[in-house]
Amino acid sequence: MEQQNCFFDWKYNCQQIKTGKLIVARKQRIQTIISCSKIYDDGKYVELEKLIENESNELTCHKSCVSMYTDKNKVNTFEKRKRDADDST
Ligand SMILES: [Zn+2]
């Protein structure tokens, strides 16, 4: 499979703005991305889970993008905000 674009382009539009080195994320990292995607509720985990089901287990992306996406502080902040919003109902 030839995938030369960053997986996170839809989120960070990064193909336009940077030419950073692409890395290949393996299964463990993909699983981290899946759990973050579920928190972000962006639906991306569906195709990632498929990827793992198919045992492709490889995802091309920028190192900086995957770090940003799975950043614990960002994820926690997002989760907290989501929880607070739920509480207000
Ligand atoms: Zn990227």
Give 37-57 pLDDT, tens digit per residue: 999 999 999 999 999 999 888
Q: Give the largest Cα separation in the chain, rounded.
A: 46
List residues, by chain if needed, whose CB lies under 5 Å from ion ligand 1: 6, 8, 14, 62, 65
- Domain residues for the domain of 13 are 9-87
- Global pTM reads 0.86
- 76 domain residue, yes or no: yes
- CA–centroid distance, residue 67 to ligand 1 (Å): 10
Number of structural domains the chain divides into: 1
- 2 domain residue, yes or no: no
- 37 domain residue, yes or no: yes
The ranges of the chain with pLDDT < 70 are 1-3, 16-19, 89
